[in-house]
Amino acid sequence: MTSLVEQPLVTRARNADLLEVRQLVVEYGFGARAARAVDGVDFAIREGEVLGLAGESGCGKTTIANTVMQILRPPARIAGGSILFEGNDLVGKSTEELRRYRWRNVSMVLQSAMNALNPVMRVGDQFVDAVRAHEKIDRRQALARAGELLELVGIDARRVSSYPHQLSGGMRQRVVIAMALALEPELIILDEPTTALDVVVQREILQQVEALKRDFGFAVLFITHDLSLLLEFADRIAIMYAGEIVETAPAERLGANPQHPYTQGLLKSFPPLRGPLTPLTGIPGSPPDLRDPPTGCRFHPRCPHCIPEQAELYRRQTTDRPRLRAVEAGHEVACHLVAEAVE
Amino acid sequence: MTTAAPLEVRSLTKHFPLGNAVRRAHVHAVDDVSFELRPGTITALVGESGSGKSTVARLLAHLSEPSAGEVLFEGSDVSHVRRRRDVLRYRSQVQIIFQDPFGSLNPVKTVRHHVERPLRIHHVVPSRQVEERVHELLRTVGLVPPEDIAAKYPHELSGGQRQRVAIARALAVEPKVVLADEPISMLDVSIRIGILNLMSKLKEERGIAFLYVTHDLASARYVADDILVMYAGQIVERGPIEDVLAAPLHPYTRLLLEAVPDPTTKTEGQQIELRKGDSSAAVDPGEGCRFRMRCPLAIEICAHTTPQLVEERPEHAARCHVTAPAN
């Protein structure tokens, strides 16, 4: 007897990291012109945890999302490392296995929901397609499920018969979140889910995600350039710069005690809404070209602590690549200055 | 204020038709908006998308003609000038910077071309001084060394550098007013502050009157002196920015403030009311307060009488029957 519900690629193992990424390298193109968008990244997400991944455009954060979701397309390719989902390496799995993994184990919400929905298909039918690709249920049941899911994200169930253009941007983004929940995945990737939306709509949506997370218990990989958003919504934050993770810590620790000069600079790039106003500087310069990244610490050309006068430190900053080191439990930093302080 | 306003708008209104000949509706994108921009002052215009804030900037830049109302430049109405010479003269005083620094520069032209064009069109300096002035402008906006930057094409520059080129181009004609429409929202976080600091510097050193259109209250607070809050085509609150943000009168301004991510509180502590109505309040609005469907303070009068802007505190006005009642 075959089961009506297709089996997920992997089944739950207790007390393990849900997702573990080890020494991941992703390249675009080949040879001398290849750009390493992700260069030796390690991170893990526990069950039910919200991991925030923050960085500027071109730092590799969306490439990581696409890699975890297994939707990388040429010229991008995994050039090294492994992605363990509940202990099983996704690298090298067959197309069919990956098809089952996507959406059932991990789903994804993109920045522009407006483009993620098919404009000439009713919302309900798009649900039906997605669900029936994975489960043997009939159209009526699938539509009923779609209605329930819409209600969960605060949209009237009758909207299943609406076309995307009949919904506001915020509503469309919620439809996409509802679709991402349809097969009850263990991990949802939110890639800049609210960047195109207004602050009020942004908060409405994130509140809804929090509430759904309490009910469903999924984990979240939350990718954004907006660090202030992560400080509020994430449990743990990883800061990316030029293809590397430069600092990772619990959200409160990162906000209270940032160690990497880049993190410090990012935090000083958000003017406060309350309290005293002081002149801010941002970070001078701009992110590097990944086809030809700076030697040593990739942040050194923009780093206020990298000065030739301190000859020995300067030599290491410009030639040695710093590794992530723990400065306290759960708080790791890749910076020569910090490494010096620890030793 | 003792200094005269170079740019003032009175009862500015812009309606866009919607639908077809049978079912005609109008979007009241801008409705009865009045304010002035003063020299050496940055005025923030804040609101959600669709509130009409960009339409205001476009009307002021003479890119669109108002349905009603006046745009007064140094006292004379310029909203309907058509003659090329008059339009040119207006644009030599009022410049606009757009959101997208990737779309507002010509990809096949160098930086020099972009900055020297306005110098030649408006005859700002004699031809032999053009190059020198281009370099001076690039230095002003922090693009150094100017000789190298001038020879580059837009794709060779970062987003922040491109936005600085757009600012240099706007400054070339020595304008009295600069309209900045979301100038930092497409830039990376770490370089946004640099653009805001540049606006402050130009305000101080050149006495330029800025209109800073944004949806980001924190950046508005950082750079602006005054604030105008728009909702569904109307100004619902205005005043000195510190006063407005410290003690907002209008329920919409309060909602905006609550919605901004606050790293010091986790979500549980700061929940906002989820909306019931849709935000199409600007389509054939009729009488009554346009925010009433989303308003926690709404009372009976809000449904049938449009509130007026009432100065509840010195220089601080709001359009709300409850928090700023008319006498």
Closest CA to B299 of B309, B286, B308, B289: B289
Residue B271 predicted with pLDDT over 80: no
Residue A303 lies inside a defined structural domain of this protein = yes
Disruptive mutation site among A61, A152, A199, A230 for chain B (greatest number of B CBs within 10 Å) = A199
User: What total number of domains does chain A contain?
Assistant: 1
Q: What is the Cα–Cα distance from A143 to A165, expressed in whole angstroms?
A: 20
Q: What is the pLDDT of residue B259?
A: 87
Which of A273, A283, A289 to substitute to test the interface with B, most B CBs within 10 Å? A273
At A22, is the pLDDT very low, low, confident or very high (cuts 50, 70, 90)?
very high
Q: Which residues pair with B279 in a beta bridge?
A: none
The token pair at B91 is: 């644009």
Burial category of A45 from C-beta neighbours within 10 Å (exposed 0-12, middle 13-18, buried 19 and up): buried
| pLDDT value of position B267 | 47
> How far, in Å, CA of B134 to CA of B112, rounded?
7
A-B C-beta contacts closer than 8 Å:
113
The C-alpha of A270 sits at a distance from chain B's nearest C-alpha, in angstroms, of: 8
| pLDDT tops 50 at residue A13 | no
In a domain, B180, yes or no: yes
Query: How much is the pLDDT for A342?
Result: 60
As for how many domains chain B has, the answer is 1
Q: Which of residues 267-326 of B touch A (CB under 8 A)?
A: 267, 271-272, 274-275, 278-279
- Provide the percentage of residues in chain A whose pLDDT is more than 90: 38
Q: What is the SS3 assignment for A20?
A: strand
Distances (CA, A) of B113 to B130, B139, B153, B174: 11, 16, 10, 17
What are the pLDDT digits (tens) for B158-182?
A: 888 899 999 999 999 999 999 999 9
Question: Given this model, what pLDDT does residue B280 score?
Answer: 60
Task: Between A63 and A289, name the one with better pLDDT.
Answer: A63
Residue of A297, A271, A273, A247 lying closest to B189 (CA atoms): A271
Strand order across the beta sheet in which A19-28 lies: A35-45, A19-28, A76-85, A88-89
d(CA A19, CA A142): 29
Q: Is the pLDDT of residue A7 over 70?
A: no
What pLDDT is recorded for position A8? Answer: 54
What percentage of residues in chain A have a pLDDT greater than 70? 93
- Three-class SS of residue A72? coil
The CA-atom distances, in angstroms, between A62 and each of A72, A251, B246 are 10, 20, 37
Query: Does some domain include residue B78?
Result: yes
Contacts of A203 in chain B (CB under 8 A): 258-259, 261, 272
The reply to whether residue B189 touches residue A226, judged by beta carbons under 8 angstroms, is: yes
Mean pLDDT for all residues in chain A? 87
B102 has a chain A CB within 8 A of its CB: no
CATH of the domain at B225: 3.40.50.300
Chain A CB contacts of B224 below 8 Å = none
Q: Of the ranges A327-341, B126-140, B186-200, which is most confident?
A: B126-140
Tens of pLDDT along A302-342?
999 999 998 889 999 999 999 999 999 899 999 998 866 66
- d(C-alpha B97, C-alpha B63), whole Å: 13
Predicted confidence (pLDDT) at residue A29 exceeds the cutoff of 50: yes
User: Is residue A197 within 8 Å of B275, Cβ to Cβ?
Assistant: no
Overall average pLDDT of the A246-252 stretch? 95
Give yes or no for residue B274 having a pLDDT over 60: no
Q: How much of chain B, in percent, has pLDDT values that exceed 70?
A: 92
Closest by Cα among B223, A333, A43, B230 to B238: B230
Torsion-angle region of A101 (φ positive above 0: left; ψ -120 to 50: alpha; else: beta): alpha
Instruction: Report chain B residues whose CB lies below 8 A from the CB of A169.
Output: 49
**8-state DSSP, A117:** S
Sign (positive or negative) of CA dihedral B115, B118, B123, B127: positive
| Helix A139-152 vs helix A123-132: crossing angle, to nearest 10 | 110
- How much is the pLDDT for A286? 79
Residue A289 lies in a domain: yes
Please report residues of B whose CB lies closer than 8 A to that of A174: none
Smallest CA–CA distance, residue A230 to chain B, in Å, is 8
Tell me if chain B has a CB within 8 Å of the CB of A276. Answer: no
Q: Which of B192, B265, B275 sits opposite A269 (nearest CB)?
A: B192
pLDDT of residue A30: 79
Residues in chain A: 343
Mean pLDDT, to the nearest integer, of B235-245? 97
Rounded to a whole number, what is the distance in Å from the CA of A269 to chain B's nearest CA?
6
8 A C-beta contact, residue B293 and residue B276: yes
Token representation of residue B100 = 């997208």
CB within 8 Å: A266 and B219 = no
pLDDT in the model for residue A16 = 65
Least confident of A39-43, A182-186, B15-19, B297-301: B15-19
Q: pLDDT band at residue A248, thresholds of 50, 70 and 90?
A: very high
| Rounded mean pLDDT, B275-288 | 69
Q: What is the C-alpha separation between A234 and B72, in angstroms, rounded? A: 49
Q: Do A203 and B272 touch (CB under 8 A)?
A: yes
- The DSSP code sequence of A187-204 is EEEEESTTTTS-HHHHHH
Is B221 in Cβ contact with A277 (below 8 Å)?
A: yes
* Residue A275 forms contact with B (CB below 8 Å): no
Report the residue of chain B nearest A267, measured CA to CA.
B190
Whole-number Å distance between alpha carbons of B35 and A303: 43
Q: Does A281 touch chain B if contact means CB atoms closer than 8 Å?
A: yes
Query: Residue A6: what pLDDT?
Result: 55
The one-letter code for the residue type at B18 is L
* Amino acid A14: pLDDT: 44
Let me know if residue A215 belongs to a domain. Answer: no
Q: Are A222 and A54 in contact (CB under 8 A)?
A: no
- Assign A187 a pLDDT band (cuts: 50, 70, 90): very high
Model pLDDT, residue A181: 87
| Residue of B160, B193, B259 lying closest to A203 (CB–CB) | B259
Is A207 in CB contact (< 8 Å) with chain B?
yes
Q: For position B101, what pLDDT does the model report?
A: 80
- pLDDT recorded at residue A197: 76
Q: Which residue of A has its CA nearest to B200?
A: A279
Among A318-322, B186-190, B200-204, the least confident range: B186-190
Residue A331 belongs to a domain: yes
Q: Which residues of B touch A199 (CB under 8 A)?
A: 48, 215-217, 256, 259-261
The arithmetic mean of pLDDT across residues B182-193, rounded, is: 86
* pLDDT band with cut points at 50, 70 and 90 for residue B115: very high
The answer to whether the Cβ–Cβ distance between A270 and B279 falls below 8 Å is no
Is A199 close to B48, i.e. CB distance below 8 A?
yes
Q: Domain of B193? A: 7-93+175-245
Which among A154, A198, A207 has CB closest to B49? A198
Q: What is the rounded distance in angstroms from the CA atom of residue B183 to the CA atom of residue B191?
A: 12
Q: What is the pLDDT of residue A208?
A: 84
Task: Please report whether residue B280 resides in a domain.
Answer: no
Do the bridges between strand B68-73 and strand B42-46 make them parallel or antiparallel, or are there none, so unpaired?
unpaired
Question: Residue B289 domain-assigned?
Answer: no
C-alpha B209/C-alpha B280 separation (Å) is 32
How many Å apart are CA B242 and CA B233, to the nearest integer? 23
* Most confident among B4-8, B147-151, B273-277 (mean pLDDT): B147-151
Contacts with B15 (C-beta within 8 Å, 6 or more apart), sequence order? B26, B27, B28, B29, B67
The better pLDDT of the pair B253, A165 is held by B253
Helix, strand, or coil (residue A260): coil
Structural domain includes residue A225: no
Report whether the peptide linkage leading into residue B145 is cis, meaning its omega lies within 30 degrees of zero: yes
The pLDDT > 90 percentage for chain B reads: 63
List the single best residue of B187, B189, B244, B295 to mutate versus A (max A Cβ within 10 A). Answer: B189
Mean of pLDDT values over A82-94: 89
Distance separating alpha carbons of residues A240 and A232, to the nearest angstrom: 18
Mean pLDDT of B126-154: 92
Quick one: average pLDDT of B217-238? 96
Question: What count of residues does chain B have?
Answer: 327
> Side chain identity at B306, as an amino acid letter?
T
Of residues B200, B183, B201, the one with CA closest to residue B192: B183
Residues of chain A found within 8 Å of residue B219, distances taken between Cβ atoms: 271
- Sheet bearing B68-73, strands edge to edge: B24-37, B7-19, B68-73, B76-77
Instruction: Count other Cβ atoms within 10 Å, centred on residue B314.
Output: 9
Report the range out of A69-78, A131-140, A188-197, B216-225 with the highest average pLDDT: B216-225
Residue A275 has what pLDDT?
85
**CA-CA distance, A6 to A13, in Å (whole number)?**
19
Residue pair A203/A17 in contact by the 8 Å Cβ criterion: no
Task: Check B278 against A266: CB less than 8 A apart.
Answer: no
- How far the first Cα of chain B sits from its last, in Å, is 26
pLDDT score for A2? 43
3-state SS of chain B is CCCCCCEEEEEEEEEEEEECCCCEEEEEEEEEEEEEECCCCEEEEECCCCCCHHHHHHHHCCCCCCCEEEEEECCEECCCCCCHHHHHHHHCCEEEECCCCCCCCCCCCCHHHHHHHHHHHCCCCCHHHHHHHHHHHHHHCCCCCHHHHHCCCHHHCCHHHHHHHHHHHHHCCCCCEEEEECCCCCCCHHHHHHHHHHHHHHHHHHCCEEEEEECCHHHHHHHCCEEEEEECCEEEEEEEHHHHHHCCCCHHHHHHHHHCCCCCCCHHHCCCCCCCCCCCCCECCCCCCCCHHHCCCCCHHHHCCCCCCEEEECCEEECCCCCCCCC
Is B151 a domain residue? no
Write down the mean pLDDT value for chain B. 88
Q: Which residue has the higher pLDDT, B102 or A41?
A: A41
Mean pLDDT of A294-304: 93
- Count CA within 13 A, CB hemisphere, residue B304: 2
Domain containing A288 equals 260-342
Min mean pLDDT across A146-160, A316-330, B189-203, B261-275 is at B261-275
Contact B49 A231 (CB under 8 A): no
Alpha carbon separation from A338 to A61, A241, A312 (Å, rounded): 24, 17, 15
Residue B114 in contact with residue B165, Cβ under 8 Å? Answer: yes
Question: B48–A228: do the CB atoms touch at under 8 Å?
Answer: no
Decide if pLDDT at B294 tops 70.
yes
The pTM of the full predicted model, rounded to 2 decimals, is: 0.85
Question: How far apart are the C-alpha atoms of A216 and A208, rounded to whole Å?
Answer: 12
pLDDT tier, B243 (very low <50, low <70, confident <90, very high otherwise):
very high
